[in-house]
Amino acid sequence: MEFVHIPVMKEECLDALRLKSGGIYFDGTLGGAGHSYEILKRTSPDGKLVATDLDSDAIENAERKLSEFKGRFNIFHSNFKDFKKIVNENGYGEFDGAILDLGVSSYQLDNRDRGFSYLAADVRLDMRMDRSKPLDAWEVVNKYTKERLAYIISTYGEEKFAENIAKNICERRKAKSVDTTGELAEIIDLSIPYRFKQKGHPAKKTFQAIRIEVNEELDGLAEGIKDIIRGLKKGGRLAVLTFHSLEDRIVKRTFSDLETDCICDKRFPICVCGKKKEIVNVLRKPLEASEEEKEINPRSKSAKLRVAEKL
Ligand SMILES: C[S@@+](CC[C@H](N)C(=O)[O-])C[C@H]1O[C@@H](n2cnc3c(N)ncnc32)[C@H](O)[C@@H]1O
């Protein structure tokens, strides 16, 4: 299947990074290499790029797409949360800028074999970005306890009917395992009362929740962001694109924590915590895609861009 992903808020992200030739940039979520391609093009002739992705399909595609910039980029089949380790092991210095475009690519969602889509019927539940990892969606759906399933669906999917969905999954499991995306979507559909099904696909929130669990999308995100920011040069910027409120909340809190000086009790006469402000939050409010982009690329509708500048 052809690798198709339209980069979201491309101009806004690249403007935020204030790219310059000769700079070195980090793209933690390579995906279709849309942002990476532009970074390399706009930092010609000698700008460098270091990129990571968990998905080997994305890496294979990106190696081809970026081939005209041979010698100027290095791609790692890694989690961007391992940024510090990658930098140390490869002797990179500080970066001029970095970008994270969180979540899944359109390729991952649209490639039905990957088991991310509630629109596909007979596909084994998978949802792994990194297919070398043992935990997949089948394992979560068939092996987790009812309580754990309900917690995940409620917390990561913000789904009101999480308990009912978890109960019905466990009921179905007594007769036979839930093997496919279609079977799971059907159980979810039966678990939500008709009058609550008007907005969007009924399986959307639960599929999001299971995907987040399988790929540990929120675990260690705050620490990963801090490591990347601390790996920037003074004045270097990190641009982060999020697509749901759970991710955005983590980014917002992390920036706010890094933007805060001393956190001592106000009654203390002098600071004893030693905490120093590390960034400026460049955009007071997150930027959203233009109406025009939302029309052309529906994926951009929920996007929020936040930008931090290292002090
Ligand atoms: C939204 S897409 C990125 C699209 C890309 N910016 C472009 O313009 O084509 C997200 C990509 O990040 C990868 N990804 C998500 N979380 C990751 C993580 N923690 N570490 C590395 N890659 C990750 C996914 O596998 C996916 O390919």
What's residue 4's pLDDT? 80
Ligand 1 atom nearest the C-alpha of 8 is 8
Same-domain pairing of 299 and 156: no
Query: Could you write out the DSSP letters of every residue in 123-160?
Result: -BS---SSTTSS--HHHHHHHS-HHHHHHHHHHHH--T
Q: How far is the CA of 51 from the centre of ligand 1 (A)?
A: 10
- Mean pLDDT in each 10-residue stretch from start to end of the chain (311 residues)? 88 97 97 97 97 97 97 98 98 98 93 89 94 97 98 97 98 97 96 85 95 98 98 98 97 97 90 94 96 95 97 98
Same-domain pairing of 97 and 224: yes
Same-domain pairing of 223 and 189: no
Same-domain pairing of 205 and 152: yes
DSSP 30: -
Ligand 1 atom nearest the C-alpha of 224 is 19
What's residue 100's pLDDT? 98
| Domain end (from 187, 214, 241) | 214
What's residue 53's pLDDT? 98
Q: How far is the CA of 95 from the centre of ligand 1 (A)?
A: 19
- The count of domains in the chain is 2
What's residue 150's pLDDT? 98
Q: Is residue 109 part of a domain?
A: no
Same-domain pairing of 127 and 189: yes
Q: How far is the CA of 105 from the centre of ligand 1 (A)?
A: 6
What's residue 194's pLDDT? 86
Same-domain pairing of 61 and 153: no
Ligand 1 pocket at CB < 6 A? 5, 7, 28-29, 31-35, 52-55, 58, 79-81, 101, 103-105, 129
Q: How far is the CA of 209 from the centre of ligand 1 (A)?
A: 17
Nearest CA to ligand 1 atom 15: 103
Residue 195 sits in a domain of what CATH number? 1.10.150.170
Across the beta sheet with 95-101, the strand order is 73-76, 48-52, 24-27, 95-101, 232-242, 304-310, 279-281
Nearest CA to ligand 1 atom 7: 34
Q: How far is the CA of 101 from the centre of ligand 1 (A)?
A: 6
Out of 129, 242, 305, mutate this one to test ligand 1's pocket (max ligand atoms within 8 Å of CB): namely 129
Number of helices followed by number of strands (H, E) in the chain: 13, 7
Residues spanned by the domain of 25:
10-103+219-310
Strands (DSSP E) contained in 180-260 are 232-242
Burial of residue 233, with CB atoms counted within 10 A of its CB: 0-12 exposed, 13-18 middle, 19 or more buried: middle
Give the whole-angstrom CA distance, residue 245 versus residue 228: 21
Same-domain pairing of 163 and 296: no
Give the whole-angstrom CA distance, residue 240 versus residue 124: 32
Same-domain pairing of 298 and 150: no
Whether a cis peptide bond, with omega within 30° of 0, leads into 7 is no
β-pairing verdict for 304-310 and 279-281: antiparallel
Q: Is residue 15 part of a domain?
A: yes
